[in-house]
Amino acid sequence: MNDDLIETNETEEIEDIKETGDIGNTEEDTGDTEDDYLAGYEEETRRRVDREARRKSMQKAKQRQLLFRKYWAFILIAILVCVTLIIVAVSGLIKHKADAARADAETVEALVVPIEDADTEEEAGDSKEAENGDDSGDRTSDEDLYIDSEYGPFKELYSEEKDAFFEGYEVVEGEQVAVPSEEDVRSTYSVLIDADEGTIIEAKGADQKIYPASMTKIMTILVAAEHVTNLDDTFLIDLSITDYAYSNDCSAVGFALGETVTVRDLMYGTILPSGADAAVALAEYVAGSEDRFVEMMNDKLEELGLSDTAHFTNCIGIYDDENYCTITDMAMILKAAVENDLARQILNAHKYTTSRTTEHPDGIEISNWFLRRIEDKETGGEVMCAKTGFVAESGSCAASYQLSDSGKHYICVTADAWSSWRCIYDHVALYSEYAK
């Protein structure tokens, strides 16, 4: 504003001089003309404007200096805090990478068998084979399964229930096959079989192709149970196991990378929480690879006489157009599993806690939620074994085995319900209505 005032006053003064010709006595004293005076006056004005601009610039600089002196401590603290945070972040990243590298190294070290130990084990294996007259060296060979007992290696688990079952795995329709109403049984597919007589009591789409989802694991546990002889044997969970469950978005027990678990843990983990990590590990333990284990599953289907309408491509139940069966097939697979004492015990368990390990000091508690949820329902008996499953192509499905109050045995399988609870209610309806 001062600049405008100065400029205005100077302009007015110059105009007055031009109009009146009054330039004082300067011209008389110096002999300068009017133009010279005006030029000098304008030069002096410019010098005054320049001085004023420099003064303001100096004032602003001084203000900045004052502000810096006032707040320099806060600025320095902020810089120090930022530097500290950067150092901490970088240190944490370096530590994380170091820990990851150390963990990988420990895992690799655990996986590698020292040469001397390997030689010792091989010699011991050769010695044992020589003693037994067996040159195969295969722990899953049929010759090793049922030694010294007509009941197999787990004779303490023997159940007399199976003695009442009909022989074979081919069922026939009863005199009257019921078809439940849509209001009572909402699942699209359902079948109820009298396991003592081998007759179909109720059926709805029982011979149509479905994708069995995790009911597939009934066959997984059956095949494993036929080949496992030591439940306390151990298996190391490696990256391929954990990645398989994660990449396929499967349910899992929650075993950690590098964790050593027992075969018993794998058996229960396959059924109770439907753990893909346990199922794949069990397959690798029994057969060396999942592909080889799946071949064994299909061999079992052929043995049961179900290979014309059933086929498996994985041991978990991940959707595949070639992983299929009918619900009647699944009922017969469950019958075979119940007839195996070890598989029956696994399918009968309501809860289980895995072995204590470094990674899980208290173990992992797992549950068969179908059995826990149906146990207080009125079914006319006790549901002894069960396995559920879900894929979008077949909805929620379940297979269960019941011992009725009258002492009879029934197997029920349903598929394509909208929820796991709907499966339970459909099984309750079928047992309570048709099982005697």
Q: What is the 3-state secondary structure (H, E, C) of the chain?
A: CHHHHHHHHHHHHHHHHHHHCCECEHHHHHCCCHHHHHHHHHHHHHHHHHHHHHHHHHHHHHHHHHHHHHHHHHHHHHHHHHHHHHHHHHHHHHHHHHHHHHHHHHHHHHHCCCHHHHHHHHHHHHHHHHHHCCCCCCCCCHHHCCCCCCCCCCHHHCCHHHHHCCCCCCCEEEEEEECCCCCCCCCCEEEEEECCCCEEEEEECCCCCECCHHHHHHHHHHHHHHHCCCCCCEEECCHHHHHHHHHCCCCCCCCCCCCEEEHHHHHHHHHCCCCHHHHHHHHHHHHCCHHHHHHHHHHHHHHHCCCCCCECCCCCCCCCCCCEECHHHHHHHHHHHHHCHHHHHHHHCCEEECCCCCCCCCCCEEECHHHHHHCCCCCCEEEEEEEEEEECCCEEEEEEEEEECCCCEEEEEEEEECCHHHHHHHHHHHHHHHCC
Could you tell me the end-to-end alpha-carbon distance of the chain, in angstroms, rounded to an integer?
Answer: 106
Model confidence band, residue 388 (pLDDT cutoffs 50, 70, 90): very high
- CATH class of the domain comprising 155-434: alpha beta
At 371 the pLDDT is 97
Average confidence (pLDDT) over 194-198: 96
Chain-centre distance for alpha carbon 138: 33
Q: Residues 296, 232, 109, 275: is their CA dihedral positive or negative?
A: positive
Q: String of b and e for 188-210 (b: at least 16 CB within 10 Å)? A: bbbbbbbbebbbbbbbbbbeeeb
The tokens for 33 are: 């003309």
Q: What are phi and psi of 398, to 5 degrees?
A: -160, 150
Residue 141 burial class via C-beta count within 10 angstroms: exposed 0-12, middle 13-18, buried 19 and up = exposed
Cβ atoms of 146 and 153 within 8 Å: the answer is yes
For residue 47, is it left (φ>0), alpha (ψ between -120 and 50) or beta?
alpha
pLDDT of 115 reads 35
23 φ, ψ to 5°?
A: -120, 30
- Is the model's pLDDT at 396 over the cut of 70? yes
Q: What is the dihedral of CA 330, 331, 336, 339, to 10 degrees?
A: 150
pTM metric for this prediction: 0.66
Q: What is the rounded CA–CA span in Å between residue 412 and residue 28?
A: 131
| 132 pLDDT above the threshold of 60 | no
Is 234 exposed, middle or buried, given 0-12, 13-18 or 19+ CB atoms closer than 10 A? middle
Q: Which residue has the higher pLDDT, 207 or 41?
A: 207
Confidence band of 161 (pLDDT split at 50, 70, 90): confident
pLDDT in tens, 231-272: 999 999 999 999 988 899 899 999 999 999 999 999 999 999
Domain residue limits, the chain: 1-112, 115-144, 155-434
pLDDT tens figures, 338-356:
999 999 999 999 999 999 9
pLDDT at res. 262: 97
Distance of CA 193 to the CA centre of its chain: 35
Q: Which are the catalytic amino acids?
A: 214, 217, 274
CB distance 423 to 398 below 8 Å:
yes
Q: Confirm if 269 and 256 have CB atoms less than 8 A apart.
A: no
Is the CB of residue 268 less than 8 Å from the CB of residue 349? yes
How many angstroms separate the CA atoms of 195 and 409, rounded? Answer: 5
Residue 370 pLDDT: 96
Which tokens in the block code for residue 96? 């994380």
For 303-325, what is each residue's pLDDT tens digit?
Answer: 999 999 999 999 999 999 999 99
- Interval 51-87: pLDDT, tens: 788 878 788 877 777 776 777 777 888 888 888 888 8
